[in-house]
Chains A and B, each alone.
Chain A
């Protein structure tokens, strides 16, 4: 029974980390159709910002929840103004540009921090379920993801800003005709996407040994989750993250982490063969 709870927590944790990894990309790629190949590097930057500020003696939760998203958001803003802005609706060009950006970020971080592994320890102690020990930080990640999803849903669905953002993504001309500047809406949306990505990197940083090239480990999972999710932003993210999280963890528990990863990828291939437009292209249509 205890073991069952441990597995349940691990599955929830796996879903939560997929949601975190995918959230920023869901906005930048899902909403804005910008293929951001530097997504992993935005996460890596979030991690480095966190580690640096913790090393300067700043409270770790402040670093993770405020400083890292704000910093990476601002970096995203600069990137949007200088690069992405000129490349909207030019899919291949944005791929090339953001790939270059990812190399640039890896280079800069290597120059500043060196090509060695850095890290901080998790701020929350473990606790026990029966005879098992579970990382308390995993619960923190699950809570953050749940909070993120709920607030994203409410902001997009219930606030005027969310409405304007969705409207501009759907039809920039009409939004513009109604008096909203699509340029500024895109800018703010890209800022939000980058900040979320920075947050994801920051939240995951205490669990891993971070190197400048760490971003590469996230990018494939992020794209798979977002693409398999389909057109609906929140529902798509939740449904694909849940599916892949469950598949991944079940196979990991039954066999090994390698089989778990393979199962995740196989599930993605089968899913996209059966539902080429993603889960929400066929189910939960027209949800957010």
Chain B
């Protein structure tokens, strides 16, 4: 087909007009939910299941009559694992699409890229991902677990199962650094001792010398907040050197993106973790959730921690809208700040009015045959790290991400 400038202009104008028109005609009887996730690129293992979870939640709400008689319309953008696209689509969601709420963002960098845009335009924002904690902003609600919630549960259990000497291997960026501080604190409080902490850039994939160093230090327990595909090599090489049955291993990250399904049972079995969700959680709510997921998408093996957080975040917002009987940002926030709870697949999730983080159940688990077997459930854990620095009741205009000082 030959394409001259005139033909191109005519056609592209027609396409643009077609894209804009339906929005105008239906805007009155729907409510817009903005979604901004990496559903392609290197973070799509996180983003794709989150997108599916979002569509599942919205589908459920719509099929039961929508919200306040209006149907939810999804306005979704794929940020392609590119942080620059977050600012661009964030602007688009608030200025052009004028959505009523935004759910999304995966990495902390992506959240920080759009948080101020949401705040300035008074667009209510939900970030539904496990992260390093400390964000204090009245416009944002966060319902992933923070390091303290995880580590507070994981460390005492792991210490009791192994012994007092701990060796930490962590990813070398803010998540790994902050989590390591919390691990050290809880190890000390539980009568243990951190003998070393090593940090690894995200592209390190050769852990041979580290494994030898660990053996020379002879700890009773290794805790590994390692992140991403390259770091997964550690668990491989640890098992390959035959260390897995000699020194127990705990992690705050293996399993968040279903990493335990990539490791073989011989490599993964016995790793201790603590999260809000496990596919193996045998509760009526989770079985119901998995059934719905299978009906919609077929394969429930894709479900992971942050997909469930995302699902719970959307239902939390929907519940707040129903109670507020309004879509107005301030009225919805007022209801959320009453300490609203919902029951999700991972149990009860409550909004903490002080920090806008979540009070939720944390399950201590062990990886077993590519699943996560629940050992013990600690109900309704507080986001104690962020609570130390953030009080939105006393200080509603706060707009900072605090780094917690020890």
- Structural contact, A121 and B266, CB atoms closer than 8 A: yes
Residue B26 is within 8 A (CB to CB) of chain A in the complex = no
CB neighbours of A61 from chain B (8 A): none
Residue A134 is within 8 A (CB to CB) of chain B in the complex = yes
Query: Which of A7, A126, A217, A249 contacts B241, CB < 8 Å?
Result: A126
- Structural contact, B198 and A256, CB atoms closer than 8 A: yes
CB neighbours of A17 from chain B (8 A): 206
Of B115-123, B207-215, B393-401, the stretch lying at the interface with chain A is B207-215
CB distance from B190 to the nearest CB of A (A): 26
A-B interface pairs (CB < 8 A), number? 126
Residues of chain B in range 263-314 having any CB-CB distance to chain A below 8 Å: 263-264, 266-267
CB distance from A122 to the nearest CB of B (A): 4
Flag B235-276 by CB within 8 Å of A: 1 or 0 each. 011011111001000000000000100111011000000000
Of A161-169, A204-212, A279-287, the stretch lying at the interface with chain B is A204-212
Residue B44 is within 8 A (CB to CB) of chain A in the complex = yes
Q: Which residue of B is nearest A252, CB measured?
A: B209
Give the bracket for the number of chain B residues in contact with chain A: 35 or more
Report how far A125 CA is from B239 CA in the complex, Å.
9
Q: Which residue of A is nearest B213, CB measured?
A: A253
Report how far A261 CA is from B206 CA in the complex, Å.
11
Q: What count of chain A residues pass the 8 Å CB interface test?
A: 47
- Structural contact, B236 and A209, CB atoms closer than 8 A: yes
Residue A176 is within 8 A (CB to CB) of chain B in the complex = no
Of B7-15, B16-24, B225-233, B315-323, the stretch lying at the interface with chain A is B225-233
- Structural contact, B210 and A257, CB atoms closer than 8 A: yes
Query: Which of A10, A132, A216, A256 contacts B199, CB < 8 Å?
Result: A256
- Structural contact, B240 and A209, CB atoms closer than 8 A: no
CB neighbours of A206 from chain B (8 A): 236, 240
- Structural contact, A217 and B203, CB atoms closer than 8 A: yes
Report how far A158 CA is from B263 CA in the complex, Å.
45
- Structural contact, B232 and A207, CB atoms closer than 8 A: no
Q: Which residue of B is nearest A121, CB measured?
A: B264
CB neighbours of B3 from chain A (8 A): none
- Structural contact, A115 and B205, CB atoms closer than 8 A: no
- Structural contact, A121 and B239, CB atoms closer than 8 A: yes
Report how far A208 CA is from B262 CA in the complex, Å.
11
Residue B42 is within 8 A (CB to CB) of chain A in the complex = yes
Flag A224-239 by CB within 8 Å of B: 1 or 0 each. 0000000000000000
Query: Which of B229, B236, B242, B263 contacts A207, CB < 8 Å?
Result: B236
- Structural contact, A133 and B242, CB atoms closer than 8 A: yes
Residue B385 is within 8 A (CB to CB) of chain A in the complex = no
Residues of chain A in range 105-163 having any CB-CB distance to chain B below 8 Å: 114-122, 124-128, 131-138
Residue A260 is within 8 A (CB to CB) of chain B in the complex = yes
Report how far A132 CA is from B243 CA in the complex, Å.
9
Query: Which of B210, B237, B242 contacts A125, CB < 8 Å?
Result: B242
Pairs A-B, 8 closest by C-beta atoms: A126-B242, A209-B232, A117-B229, A122-B240, A135-B241, A126-B241, A209-B229, A252-B209
Give 14 pairs: A residue, B residue, CB < 8 Å, sorted on A.
A6-B212, A7-B209, A10-B209, A14-B208, A115-B40, A117-B232, A121-B239, A121-B264, A126-B243, A127-B242, A136-B240, A209-B205, A214-B230, A257-B210
